[in-house]
Structure 1
């Protein structure tokens, strides 16, 4: 995982990349997904369909605390993976 100030960049494999991009949104990179973090480092921006999921994973994190961002992104991926077990992934056939 690669983290930079202002953005949290999560490197994933291709299938997880497409799956997360379709559900969370964010900028697409060649090897991962960029989650936009506010300048103050307090809020993770996400698209409406998964905002509640993101809020459950990260409510707030300390200003510029990249370790908390890192852990929060891991929680988001874990929550997404657990959610995927409960519903079929229709994106793979698209």
Structure 2
């Protein structure tokens, strides 16, 4: 059953101060961490981040080591990401999302 009274009183929804009807602007600022994250499973955290850095024009390997330490994966950065827990994958992807400007 559809509630017309709700529609008459609807004033809108905003995220980040943007009207949800302006989807293009809004969706460019939203990211989703999904169960099948965009990591290469047979590569290490360092190798995955290196691939992303290359695509962003970042050539400093020390930067990658800083990110690994920042997200709490120092010591397991040589382990293939297919052996990471879901939380470890999310932490690695968090950096990728932040670097892309996604909130």
TM-score scaled to structure 1, two decimals? 0.34
Return the structure number with greater strand share.
1
Compare relative contact order (CA 8 Å, sep 6+) and give the higher one, 1 or 2. Answer: 2
**Structure with the greater alpha carbon radius of gyration:** 2
